Structures are given as C-alpha cells and as structure tokens.
Amino acid sequence: MEGLPGTRMPLREPYEVSPPETTHRPDRASRFIARVDAHLPTLCDDAARRAFLGRQLEGWEHRYARFLATEGASEFATDTNDPPHAADFLLTITALAARRIALGGRPICRRARESGDP
C-alpha cells in the first residue's frame, strides 16, 4: 500500500468499526431485586416476607454507610470496568423499601423505628 504524496508513512488498512452493543444488560440492582422477587413467594407468609425484607434493608443500609465511609473501598468489584456506585445501593434500598411498604407493617425508616413513631 502506498503512502500519501510527500510522506514516508504508509496508509493504514481500513479497519472494521462495529456498532455499539444494542442489548441492554440489567444493572446490579435489577439483577439483585429479580432474585429477591423470585425468593419472596417461597416464604410462608407476609410476616416472613416483611422480616426478610427488613433484614435485607438493614444489611444494605449498613453496606451503603460503610461504602460511603470508605469512599467505595469496602465493596469488592467483580468487574474493574464496572465498579459499584452509590446509585447501585440507593436503587437497591429503594426497591427493597417499596416491597416492604407494599406488605405493610412497621415503618421502614430507621429514624421512625427508633423513635417509636407508627
């Protein structure tokens, strides 16, 4: 292949450019909530579902606080190109809280639980 006139550099062969990936990969929170949604019907009653969601909420709130305190260092990134972000925690906590609210029962807000508000 010849170069441009007046230069010694050869032209490069054209290379293939592929279009961006069009399939959408569900985010971390969506994948986790899908597993939670699959598990909830296996629990014996709404009280067990509320207890399960309450434990999940407590755990995720704790992990989020630790994530913030360590500026993300507390969470292991399985994919270094896609590390966990604060939004992943917030989406997960919000989705868990929505399911907990739908089942009724005691308040999901930690402040309301600790103050004894109904």
What are the extents of the domains in the chain?
Answer: 28-73+84-115
Separation of alpha carbons 97 and 5, rounded Å: 67
**pLDDT recorded at residue 59:** 95
**Rounded CA separation 63/71 (Å):** 12
Model confidence, pTM: 0.68
Residue 10's DSSP bridge partners are 3
Per-residue pLDDT tens listing for the chain (118 residues): 455 566 666 666 666 666 666 556 678 899 999 999 999 999 999 999 999 999 999 999 999 999 999 988 888 777 777 788 899 999 999 999 999 999 886 655 556 556 655 5
Residue 118 CB-density burial (10 A; 0-12 exposed, 13-18 middle, 19+ buried): exposed
